[in-house]
Structure 1
């Protein structure tokens, strides 16, 4: 009986979890071969880098968490070193205790970076994950207070919140 109750409660939690619910918001800019699921409606804007490259950016602020995705077109003449780009961004953002790893999942090859910084007296942990596709690259950012990091929503955003377009 306890197992049935547990499975019923678990199923209900999955239904109300924004990353699993039908009401999730999908960010899919025209220049991007990736779809990114947010736990709510993100604010979308354009971002311009110092080298003239532009990206589409989506940001969502949760109660105590932050989610962001940036996607930009690339062509085969551009050299893209995501690892170096992520390390430079971590430095510019003032992250400490930075660690980076690479891997591969159902979306493709990725780099994943983790670091922390103090914001308004609170230690906040950041996790950043990037993928390079054939015609575009995407960088996912997630952050929340280190005292609760990582929550299920952060893990879902970074692992199941991104898909390749078909």
Structure 2
């Protein structure tokens, strides 16, 4: 079940300052860490070397920026929703997805079932209270090495059931 957040929209502005990303002005692109890989998998498996190396990818700024806005916006939305809740704050997390080519933020909480289907944990957060506490949308403006981008992203509240394997 997913419901749109019902609280007033929020906004956030930020300057991107992370070591994992680099703006490439000559390409109008962003180089970012796409994954962390073990340089020597066998040494990792036997525990002698747990160091990882970054694997980079590059994408045009206009493709990267909406995803970065969603990440920043999701953090802000989660902070706002948690501050407004009376109980179950720590049970709430966020997710980001692209639906029909547009970013969407989900404020999520879950019930956990054991292998046999019995309930292991149930959320104490009330769904209607969470919907009322969650902004309907977030407008995010990011600045990155002289470039700016603004996105308004819808926010949904979603409950899921997870099964332990």
**Of the two structures, which has the highest relative contact order with CA contacts closer than 8 Å and spacing of 6 or more?**
2
Q: Normalized against structure 1, the TM-score is what?
A: 0.30
Larger Rg: 2
Q: Normalized against structure 2, the TM-score is what?
A: 0.30
